[in-house]
Chains A and B, each alone.
Chain A
Amino acid sequence: MQFLQAYLRNPAAAFGLVLLAAVLALAATAGLLFPDNPLGLAGRPLQWPFSNPRFWLGTDHTGRDIAAQIFHGARVSLVIGFVATVIAILIGVLIGALAGYYGGVIDDLLMRVTEAFQILPNFLLLLVLVAVFGSNMETIVVAIGVVSWPPAARLTRAEFLTLRNREFVQAGRTLGLGDARLIFGEILPNALPPVIVYASVIMAVAILLESALAFLNLSDPNVPSWGNLIGGGRAVLRDQWYVSAIPGFAILLTVLAVSLVGQGLNDALNPKLKNR
């Protein structure tokens, strides 16, 4: 309760939460408002928004309803963002925790692996993974998760380095607790807040990565994602710009919502910023 109060005291964070709720509402009502397949042909192609009451956001170059794609696309974007983030955080926390807790050779080894991932631009790595493993939605989500974990690992490792020598950890060791219990039961709960905050950044980037793939026609074409819609509108960008602009605006708002919520969490979880 106190946490919620601290969170809502920040107007930007409250706004972010409202935006995120709006995107969630889009995703939740997609099936109700647009029960038909959003990728099915609906009418004459390239109708401008508000020109036909049946398609209030217009239709794209193949005659599909843009509004239906926006609503269903919200589902896809959120699922991509969420699942990819969970994968990235799981890998990152595990590697960072082991490296930070054990130190020495294990740390060196794991950190070199992390650096190997970090020196490649992650979009390039993503392209390689998609080229090798194909571009259906599952592989894309996993691939985004696999390219996004290194910063989470570094953050977790840094937290573990400072926490592992704290007296409460030593106390646990003198009580005879095993390594697994010390790592996951004692240190990890104290190391998590900054990682959770960082997860919002990963989520925003994951949504953008999928859109970028779709823009290059490398995403799953059988899924109504916002990126696919932008990619499709590329050919008519000069005359019917709304085809790309509407999903672009949706992506902007979603990423903004996730970032604002992350920033708000950071402020609420960081006691040093209290009473400012």
Chain B
Amino acid sequence: MNPVLSIRNLSVALPPGADRPYALRDVSLDLGANEILCVVGESGSGKSMTAGAVMGLLPERVRATQGRIELTTGAAGDSRNLLELGQHELRRIRGARIGMIFQEPMTALNPLRTIADQVGEPFRIHTALTSREISKRVLALLDDVHIPDPAAAARAYPHELSGGQRQRAMIAMALALEPAVLIADEPTTALDVTTQAQILRLIRELQERRGTAVLFITHDFGVVAEIADRVAVMQHGVLVEQGAAADVLNAPRHPYTRALIAAVPALTPPPERPVAGEAVLTLDKVSKTYRSGGLFKRHKRVTHAVREASLTLPKGGTLGIVGESGSGKSTLARCIVRLLDPDAGSIRFGELDLATLSHRAVRAHSRHVQMVFQDPYGSLNPRRRVGDLVAQGPVAHGVPRREALARARQLFELVGLDPEAVRRYPHEFSGGQRQRIGLARALALEPSVLVADEPVSALDVSVQAQVLDLLASLRERLGLSLLFITHDLRVAAQICDRIAVMKNGSVVEYGSAAQVFGAPTHPYTRSLLDAVPGRHWTPPTTGADDALAAA
């Protein structure tokens, strides 16, 4: 193999005072023409720094201290070391020889300029084509990335396109000058699962047609299984393992890779648990509609966020609500804990109808149904000690402060944290630990129902597995019933007894996990399951537990 891009012994130093001296240490990678190399790792592993070093776009005060990055520039095979080039020469290479796609197409595109204007930019910078010729090329490119109605999309502004279409436009822009290397930094992480599947297919198709070398950065082993020819695994800035995709995915050698792969949830649900027939929470035709817009009728916009959702949560069981963004699953969760007021329907909890309680009554009954939030950074008040955060709920319900604080210590132990940590502030904890604090806070009121809104989707895969295990064990020990909201079908398969699939505010399918995953009846459920990245790959299980222990 003759590499197009060759990284040799690259080290990148972080500024003094960072949590480690090197962002990358002695990394060597080869990227051949016509292949997709996936760089995988958890947050802070240095995978995005690798891309930044290649593009010459490292953050302020971060420098490459050692090594070479060779890019083949001519047909004869002569190459240049990118680290030695000045800004001027690098600019000639970026966009022309190396294209880049970013994670969030909404922020990577300029909101004030049309798509045609932005996709045509590489031509204006790097070529001497006439504007007529450029607009012809832009249309051809947009057609290449399968944007529906390219002429209309070219005239549109970024906010007028959907997330998937925006990412297609970004890809068109990155590939405009047929670069030899394409760097894709988590290009599908911000997208819904069905859109993600389409974009992955598109990248694969364009790559094969043009023979581009793709450096694909991701944290998701499902995506790796879907698209990679070769895989490089990174941990703490060090490349721990690389090899052909099939080898790394099915027979990982390094203990860290083994642990990572073992933490990927399988798409097949475990054997069914016996679940009580008795319902703890019964939703009957719950609806929530948003109205917005002007004084006059014709300007009004009506959005049906939730339409007549009817579900039951069995006592001691877990009901999963899955769906893509905008499906109404989070709105439904917020209606149940009454952060939002439903417009119609009833939410029966024992004798109470949570949907129609007055706000004063909601406050008194809030202890029965508690919520765990998605964002481990945003859901804890940064200015309070974590012990206070956990004690806050009981204190508001009349428990003396001393008693509540003592209880907070016990809860910390319950969720696997050091009880002495109650005096610290949220920023002193990692993402997974903060999610445990959020859990302790919800449990402090001894609720019988826990509503968890994407509780693990902001966490790294290994931490995700630990938090899921904790949730499952708490459910057993405390007799909790769990309403689990997620967009990730793999996670849903592992923890849920029943699953409801939502689309555009309606529940389109509802049944036991085995039914929904084994024999889905609604076409939308089937398309969701088909879109799960790496669905044909079953993570190897042999020695997984040993590997986790070793890591």
Contact surface of A with B, Cβ cutoff 8 Å: 166-168, 170-178, 181, 186, 189-190, 275
Contacts and interface: CB of A to CB of B under 8 A. Distances in A.
Interface residues of B, number: 30
B396 A178 contact: yes
Given A176-B397, A275-B61, A168 B381 contact: yes
Given A171-B438, A174-B339, 19 more contacts: A166-B378, A167-B374, A167-B378, A168-B380, A170-B339, A170-B379, A171-B379, A173-B339, A174-B337, A176-B363, A176-B366, A177-B363, A177-B396, A178-B363, A189-B381, A189-B383, A190-B382, A190-B383, A275-B61
Closest 7 CB pairs of A and B: A175-B393, A167-B379, A176-B366, A167-B373, A167-B378, A168-B381, A176-B363
B378 A168 contact: yes
B381 A175 contact: no
Contact of B393 (A167, A176, A189, A190): A176
Contacts of B373: 167, 170-171
A168 B363 CA distance: 16
B503 interface: no
Interface in B323-377: 334, 337, 339, 362-364, 366-367, 370-371, 373-375
Contacts of A175: 366, 370, 392-393, 396, 441, 445
B52 interface: no
Nearest to B363: A176
Contacts of A167: 373-375, 378-379
A239 B322 CA distance: 84
B15 interface: yes
13 contacts: A167-B379, A168-B380, A168-B381, A170-B339, A170-B379, A171-B438, A174-B339, A175-B370, A175-B392, A176-B367, A176-B397, A178-B363, A178-B396
Nearest to B447: A174
Contacts of B366: 174-176
Interface of B: 15, 60-61, 334, 337, 339, 362-364, 366-367, 370-371, 373-375, 378-383, 392-393, 396-397, 438, 441-442, 445
B contact patch SS: loop
B381 A190 contact: yes
A174 B375 CA distance: 16
Contact of B15 (A166, A190, A275): A275
Given A167-B378, A181-B396, A275-B15, A174 B383 contact: no
A186 B442 CA distance: 17
A191 B382 CA distance: 12
A176 B396 contact: yes
Contacts of B382: 168, 190
A233 to B, nearest CB: 49
Nearest to A181: B396
A189 B438 CA distance: 20
A168 B373 CA distance: 9
A174 B396 contact: no
Contacts of A176: 362-364, 366-367, 393, 396-397, 445
Among B60, B362, B378: residue with most chain A CB under 10 A = B378
B444 to A, nearest CB: 8
A171 B381 CA distance: 9
Identify the interface centre among A176, A181, A186: most chain B CB within 10 Å of its CB: A176
A172 B390 CA distance: 10
B290 to A, nearest CB: 15
A171 B383 contact: no
A181 B393 CA distance: 12
Contacts of A173: 339
Nearest to B372: A171
A275 B17 CA distance: 11
A166 B438 CA distance: 14
Contact of A174 (B15, B370, B397): B370
A27 B374 CA distance: 53
Contacts of B334: 170
A175 B364 CA distance: 9
